[in-house]
Amino acid sequence: MGNDTKYIFVTGGVLSSLGKGLASASIGALLESRGLSVTIQKLDPYINVDPGTMNPFQHGEVFVTDDGSETDLDLGHYERFTSIKMGQDNNFTTGKIYYSVISKERRGDYLGGTVQVIPHITDEIKNDIKLVSDSVDVVIVEIGGTIGDIESLPFLEAIRQFKTDVGKENVIYIHLTLVPYIATAGEVKTKPTQHSVKELRSIGIQPDILLCRTDRFLSKEIKAKIALFCNVGVDAVITALDVESIYEVPLIFHNEGLDDKIIELLNIWTRAPRLEAWKDLVKRIKSLKHSVKIAIVGKYTNLTESYKSLNEALYHGGFSNDCKVNLFFVDSENINADNCKEVLSDVDGILVPGGFGTRGIEGKILAAQYARVNKIPYFGICLGMQLAVIEFARNVAGMTSAHSSEFDEKTTFPVIYLMLSWYDEKTKAIQKRDISSEKGGTMRLGTYPCILEEGTLAHKAYGTYEISERHRHRYEFNNEFKEILEEKGLIISGTSPSKDLVEIVEIKEHPWFLGCQFHPEFKSRPMQTHPLFQSFIGAALKKKLE
């Protein structure tokens, strides 16, 4: 741990979903714009060891990092707003921390001593924070949950102690709260913020900066009132305004003086911020000329958090095509042969995302068929690719009962199946697995290389022959059916270097039809759109303008 590393702890009060993740990401963006090196860590109070097995309805999407860690969706915000590459040390949960402490206790590391929350759990938390501290100027640590939750107490105690451990000049606490506008009274109310700060101070943490989430800029009077009751400087009360686009947040914070205040409190010297790229981006977002309607056919469609990175990647595809992307969520369980045309008739593109489980599978297959037959741009991601292969096998290659062995173990044409052995480019060894391997263990997780075929849609989009993308899936394309499917017009445009694994498929004589086994959305950035999203939205716009 560098002696001069500075720490910013971000907590949230009043209620959840106020945007701590975006706030932390925006602070990271502002500090990077000043030339500082930054990393961000998320500490989650839930007891699951990681979000990999959690229902997306409850906790939003699972964000996969290069090293194959299944992490919280906030890590996606961190990567989209900064140049940081996230990994397993950027996300810790209560489950992961207790698991580690209990393992040490079982091994006898504590020499038979009584293992307690303080100091053992809190020490473990502090050590985990130090894991990401090397070689960066500032570590931003976001504490999940809301002040007052019983689960987050050990984390708050750990960050309280941290100030004493590393010196008070090296730590600041930023607290995000809600300042609601009560229409009947015609005024904003500061009481929730006062209560939240009081709660925080009762456990020994005095916030240095308050981010006040609100739908209007706070007046000088209101800021002075909050400052007085919460024991902070008036210039440390920052309006965290509701904005049209999340990419405005860093600029709002900067205009409110947040980065200046952070630099002052941490006593760091930096250059002036360079925010031109952010300003250009926001200007572009606010003046998009065209628009397209993209259908997302999935089963978590009533909750946008379930597809956070995907939605953002689609918006990015729009930014680079001067085009607003309107998302139309379709529950695949409600699609059948009779209404498919009616549901999808006015969309400019169809996307079938990744997912697990059998619900709504036939509806997704119908969506892929509709896109193929009617020449509508189609993008299949992970499961969306597999279902496009099944649809093609059934309706073009004559294998009417084709399926994935995930959904039908007895199918005579398992075009998608659990591959029992393949050459792993990471370990440079043959990987083996079977149906009884533990759930997480059978997954292909993290980045894998892929070689593209010349002249294909994928090759044109990427403009290169070798790519590396992040995966999170269990079943694979069955090479036994490769020849017959290719004969019928399926193009295999991307494979692993060993050719064992099919990564991208396309079809002939279609304006834009592509399925990929990986999750490209995890690598898309607002200022660097992922090539496949740029190409897909471009094709959708072309179709609309024809």
Residue 202 CA to residue 431 CA, distance in Å, equals 53
Query: Is 386 a known ligand-binding residue?
Result: yes
Q: Which two tokens stand for residue 79?
A: 């990567």
Contact 541, 529 (CB under 8 A): no
pLDDT band at 68 (very low <50, low <70, confident <90, very high): confident
pTM for this entry? 0.92
Catalytic residue among 230, 382, 450, 516: 382
**Catalytic annotation on 516?**
no
pLDDT in tens, 468-507: 999 998 899 999 999 999 999 999 999 999 998 999 999 9
Closest CA to 493 of 481, 505, 485: 505
Q: Which residue has the higher pLDDT, 441 or 1?
A: 441
pLDDT for residue 359: 80
- Three-state SS at 29: helix
Is there a contact between 403 and 415 (Cβ–Cβ < 8 Å)?
A: yes
Q: What is the pLDDT of residues 108-166, one digit of tens each?
A: 888 888 889 899 899 999 999 999 998 899 999 999 989 988 989 999 999 999 999 99
One of 120, 254, 510, 519 is an active-site residue; which one? 519
191 annotated among ligand-binding-site residues:
yes
What confidence score (pLDDT) does residue 2 get?
Answer: 45
CA atoms of 153 and 146, how far apart (whole Å): 10
In one-letter notation, the amino acid at residue 198 is: K
CB half-sphere exposure, 94, CA atoms < 13 A: 16
Q: What is the pLDDT of residues 527-542, one digit of tens each?
A: 999 999 999 999 999 9
Instruction: Express each pLDDT in 157-205 by its tens digit.
Output: 999 999 999 999 999 999 999 999 999 998 999 999 999 999 999 999 9
Average pLDDT over residues 27-47: 95
- Looking at per-residue pLDDT, the higher value among 301 and 506 belongs to 506
The answer to whether the CB of 230 falls within 8 A of the CB of 207 is: yes
Over the chain, what is the mean pLDDT?
91
For residues 411 and 501, the answer to whether their CB atoms sit within 8 Å is no
Residue 1 has a pLDDT of 43
Q: Going along 45-122, which residue ranges are E strands? A: 63-64, 70-71, 91-93
**Residue 382 bears catalytic tag:** yes
- Nearest CA to 249 out of 527, 28, 36 is that of 28
* Cα(463)–Cα(532) distance, integer angstroms: 11
Q: Please, what is the angle between helix 74-81 and helix 20-33, to 10°?
A: 20
The residue ranking higher by pLDDT, 43 or 434, is 43
Per-residue model confidence as pLDDT tens digits over 330-367 = 999 999 999 999 999 999 999 999 887 778 899 999 99
Per residue in 155-170, pLDDT tens? 999 999 999 999 999 9
Q: What angle do CA 424, 430, 431 make, to 5 degrees?
A: 75
Query: Could you tell me where the beta strands, DSSP code E, fall in 398-465?
Result: 403-404, 414-417, 421-424, 429-432, 444-452
Q: Which backbone phi and psi does 282 adopt, to 5 degrees?
A: -65, -40
Is residue 26 within 8 A of residue 241, CB to CB? The reply is: no
- Was 383 annotated as part of a binding site? yes
| Residue 52 pLDDT grade (very low, low, confident, very high; cuts 50, 70, 90) | low
Q: What is the structure's pLDDT at 302?
A: 58
Task: Of 13-22, 36-45, 53-62, 254-263, give the lowest mean pLDDT range.
Answer: 53-62
| Residue 153: Cβ-neighbour burial (10 angstroms; 0-12, 13-18, 19+) | middle
DSSP assignments along 100-123, one per residue: HHHHHHHHTTTTTPPP-IIIIIHH
Active site residue 521: yes
Kindly indicate the confidence band of residue 440, based on its pLDDT and cuts at 50, 70 and 90.
very low
Arithmetic mean of pLDDT, 74-91? 94
Q: What confidence score (pLDDT) does residue 304 get?
A: 62
Distance CA 140, CA 5 (A): 11
- Distance CA(53)–CA(342), nearest Å, equals 35
274 by Cβ neighbours in 10 Å (0-12 / 13-18 / 19+) ranks as exposed
What pLDDT score does 490 carry? 96
Is 2 annotated to bind a ligand? Reply is no
Which domains are assigned to the chain? 6-281 (3.40.50.300), 289-415+479-494+502-545 (3.40.50.880)
End-to-end CA distance of the chain: 58
- The token pair that represents 191 in the structure block: 């009481």
